[in-house]
Chains A and B, each alone.
Chain A
Amino acid sequence: MIPPSFDYHAPKTVGEALGLLGSLGSDAKLLAGGHSLLPMMKLRFAQPAHLIDLNRIPELRGICEDGNDVVIGAMTSENELIASPVLRAKVPLLAEAPKLIADPQVRNRGTIGGDIAHGDPGNDHPALSLALDATLHIEGRGGRRSVKADDFYLGLYTTALAEDEILTAIRVPAFAHGTGWAYEKLKRKTGDWATAGAAVVLRLNGGLVSHVRIALTNVAPTALRAHDAEKALLGQAITPATLQAAADAAMAICDPAADLRGNEDYKTAMAGQMLKRAIQAAAARCA
């Protein structure tokens, strides 16, 4: 399978890429790792006349600390996240969870920004960004803006990113001391998307949940922030009853599409199960 014809552009700066996006308009697509876009082009689900390759723009790569935050360039690869000492120390969820994404070769190419901007509910970084309370940095020809992950995912393959904008970086607050975290992903095999997944970040104070963010992967047209599940835990001890209450609240917002991974009921049940496991794993990591 060979993609349809296109013209290829390899800008060296974000400014140059924005200029190309502006002049080529909606006929152009941004190329990040390419492991979603190129297969879609082979299948003719996407037929852009122009590809703007972001791989030669150094300013879009890398991981650095900025005050109490960690800022990750959008073109940073999954394997770079896994290998990052900064992430391991400050936001370990973001160094561990990518091990569950795709396989070693694909993780050399796939990027955090591509995974987020694609708007695919099967991708893992959308739920992670929600659980981590990430802020997404966006550049357009009109200037820069920031969007909270909570406001970014609008629908299936639809995000707050406009056609002439580029996602440049992901800003994540460093974990406060004692923060527990987990990402539980049920998948059939290496490289598969989640049947259901749950990301949890929480803190305990005297055995009671003092902070919690919960997000779900691949059980709705977008990743879901599970507000009611968070409410079910906040101020409570983690017991079989509160675990079940959180899982019930999370399952109530699931709206998965049936496919070879299972029907709606199964996927919804698995979302509840993944959430219970993730809460327990996160609580066990709380200091």
Chain B
Amino acid sequence: MAKKFVAMKVNGKAVEEAVEPRTLLIHFLREKLNLTGAHIGCETSHCGACTVDIDGASVKSCTHLAVQCEGSQVLTVEGLANAGVLHAVQEGFYKEHGLQCGFCTPGMLMRAYRFLQENPNPTEAEIRAGMAGNLCRCTGYQNIVKAVQYAAAKLQQDQKVAA
């Protein structure tokens, strides 16, 4: 099967590669671009460990073809921090102990990042519904919810300071 050229922006950087059409985005990120933050968990779009942001929407990159990203803007966990300063969601997971083993964390962070743009001031129930596509098998969800609440408060405060 003929390879196809695909051009996209990943974490703001233009990339162009020839890929087999069957290459999943998660493999493209991890193996071609050496961005190993997004994890391969269930491979069946249940667990959310592979969640990245594509054109402003959370997507499970295990169930998306790299060729489908032609012209897209992709953001992975490697692109979250800004010049060495943690993003509010990263700071929240750190401060509130939102991780133990860390396997689900890159997907949790990327989903929380997008969720807080969709809903900047969520209730606890809304956080649980908004994060429902990401599974954690060791920390438990209590501290993950607290981490998202921390990030929501921080982002709102940052916005007030900026205004």
Question: What residues of chain A have their CB less than 8 Å away from a CB belonging to chain B?
Answer: 1-8, 10, 34-35, 38-39, 42, 51, 53, 55, 79, 102-106, 108-109, 190-191
Contact = CB atoms under 8 A, between A and B. Distances in A.
A39 B47 CA distance: 14
B35 interface: no
Interface residues of B, number: 32
B68 A105 contact: no
Given A104-B132, A109-B59, A55 B68 contact: yes
14 contacts: A2-B22, A3-B24, A7-B1, A7-B2, A38-B63, A39-B45, A55-B68, A103-B132, A104-B58, A105-B59, A109-B60, A109-B63, A191-B132, A191-B133
Contact of A8 (B44, B48, B67, B133): B67
A105 B48 contact: yes
B91 interface: no
Interface string B76-95: 00000000000000000000
Given A8-B65, A38-B63, A103-B133, A108 B4 contact: no
A191 B24 contact: no
Given A7-B1, A34-B64, A39-B45, A105 B22 contact: no
A35 B45 contact: yes
Contacts of B45: 35, 39, 105-106
B70 interface: yes
A196 B115 CA distance: 30
Contacts of B64: 34, 38, 109
Nearest to B54: A108
B22, B23, B130 — which one has the most chain A CB atoms within 10 A of its CB?
A: B22
A51 B44 contact: no
A104 B43 contact: no
A20 to B, nearest CB: 14
A191 to B, nearest CB: 6
